């Protein structure tokens, strides 16, 4: 079941069923909004649905859970028996509800996909530490297809859960214990806010070995100065931030950049015209290019989507001037689940799974050595 650990292909399938041919080409955004944006007004979930992060049941992954999906392993990539760090991982969007803006924790289909994502993404970090992945009342996918006030309220509501989970996580950590922060998509958005609100200028910043803000754009000029940690400049550097967004070529990121250019960064400066941070996962440095031979292993699903394997040397990577991570022509094994514009958002971790694992280990070693 590992290969079904990916999110947005479900949305893509729904959209493709609803649309066809020229209609999809011309009106894809309108079709997606019609299919996925809630038609009801935002209402905060009742207090009784709030999660108690002192309880194991409020977590998808944590060290004392008997059936923890983050402990998935491939041959040669087993979880460490001597964890040296604690990993706080924030999952991406898995809720497709149109009848509400925030998913409840009782959403069976969303919860099924949550476990799959934690297995395929957070497992990249189980070679160095213990993974903690909170459940939270996530904004549904429609919140990312509109700029309405209701969508912003849904994201704020979800972030409040993540904040409480992070506080509970820190309360259970031994003093000085190294921390890896990681997230994807909606999880990366919430992680960037955590960095601004709960890491920058606090003692927690001194405990961060690395932060992986993956699948969400961070402006080098308008965001990074407010996040309390610099961008990672060199492989093995500790106490810094990595971020990338994967596109095959030819890449069309016009829809993404239209939204990006219309927003204000965490510094209060507009993001318009500013490049996004692009950390090359094959080199551990910002920008530059690396051939497929530098890829230690991509997580590749089987044709029937029932299994997956780690395949080295399949996917190259280079950063372009606007901050996209380009992976060359469509790589074998992923084509059915690509978003419009050759956007490989679903596979941001999977394409570079083994390199992400090695990168985190190197940064933790540097952190412990210093």
- pLDDT tens digits, one per residue of 285-323: 999 999 999 999 999 876 655 567 999 999 999 999 999
Residue 220 sits at the vertex; the CA angle it makes with 218 and 221, to the nearest 5 degrees, is 120
**CA 16, CA 234: separation in Å to the nearest integer?**
41
Q: How confident is the model at residue 24 (pLDDT cuts 50, 70, 90)?
A: very low
Residues 6+ apart with CB under 8 A from 39: 98
Mean pLDDT, the chain, rounded, equals 88
Rounded-to-integer distance, Cα 37 and Cα 98, Å: 6
The strand pair at 289-290 and 317-319 is best described as: antiparallel
Tokens matching residue 10? 């479900």
Confidence at residue 236, expressed as pLDDT on a 0 to 100 scale? 94
Residues 6 or more apart from 359 whose CB is under 8 A from it? 210, 235, 242, 281, 284
214 vs 334: which has the higher pLDDT = 214
Handedness of CA 353, 355, 357, 359 (dihedral sign): negative
| Residue in 130, 191, 204, 128 with CA at minimum distance from that of residue 165 | 191
Assessment of whether the complete model's pTM goes beyond 0.95: no
Condensed to tens digits (0 to 9), the pLDDT of residues 245-271 reads 999 999 999 988 988 999 999 999 999
pLDDT recorded at residue 339:
87
Q: Under a CB-based contact definition with an 8 Å cutoff, are residues 61 and 162 in contact?
A: no
* 239: nearest Cα among 286, 205, 284, 194: 205
String of b and e for 293-323 (b: at least 16 CB within 10 Å)? ebbbbbbbbeeeeeebebbeebbbbbbbebb
How high is the pLDDT of residue 1?
A: 39
- The 10s digit of each residue's pLDDT in 69-104 is 999 988 889 999 999 999 999 999 887 877 888 988
């Amino acid at each position: 079941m590992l290969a079904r650990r990916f999110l947005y292909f479900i949305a893509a399938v729904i959209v493709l069923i609803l649309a066809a041919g020229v209609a999809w080409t011309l009106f894809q955004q309108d079709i997606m909004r019609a299919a996925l944006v809630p038609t009801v007004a935002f209402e905060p979930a009742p207090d009784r649905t709030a999660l108690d992060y002192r309880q194991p049941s409020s977590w998808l992954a944590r060290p004392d859970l008997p059936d923890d999906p983050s402990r998935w392993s491939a041959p040669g990539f087993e979880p460490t028996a001597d964890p040296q760090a604690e990993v706080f991982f924030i999952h991406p969007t898995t809720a497709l509800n149109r009848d509400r803006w925030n998913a409840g924790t009782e959403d069976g289909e969303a919860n099924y996909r949550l476990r799959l994502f934690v297995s395929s993404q957070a497992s990249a970090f189980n070679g160095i530490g213990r993974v903690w992945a909170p459940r939270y009342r996530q904004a549904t996918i429609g919140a990312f297809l509109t700029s309405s006030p209701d969508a912003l309220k849904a994201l704020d509501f979800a972030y409040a859960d993540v904040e409480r989970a992070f506080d509970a996580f820190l309360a259970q950590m031994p003093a000085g214990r190294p921390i890896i922060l990681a997230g994807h998509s909606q999880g990366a958005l919430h992680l960037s806010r955590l960095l601004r609100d709960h890491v920058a200028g606090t003692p927690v910043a001194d405990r961060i070995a690395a932060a992986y803000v993956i699948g969400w754009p961070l402006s080098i000029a308008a965001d990074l100065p407010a996040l309390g940690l610099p961008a990672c400049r060199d492989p093995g550097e500790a106490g810094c931030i990595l971020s990338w967004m994967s596109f095959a070529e030819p890449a069309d990121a016009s829809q993404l950049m239209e939204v990006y250019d219309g927003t204000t960064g965490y510094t209060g400066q507009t993001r318009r015209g500013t490049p996004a941070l692009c950390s090359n996962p094959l080199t551990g440095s910002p920008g530059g290019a690396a051939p497929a031979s530098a890829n230690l292993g991509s997580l590749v699903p089987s044709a029937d989507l029932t299994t997956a394997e780690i395949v080295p040397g399949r996917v190259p990577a280079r950063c372009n001037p606007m901050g996209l991570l380009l992976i060359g022509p469509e790589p074998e094994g992923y084509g059915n689940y690509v978003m419009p514009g050759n956007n490989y958002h679903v596979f941001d971790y999977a394409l570079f799974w083994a390199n992400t694992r090695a990168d985190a280990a190197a940064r933790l070693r540097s952190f412990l050595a210093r």
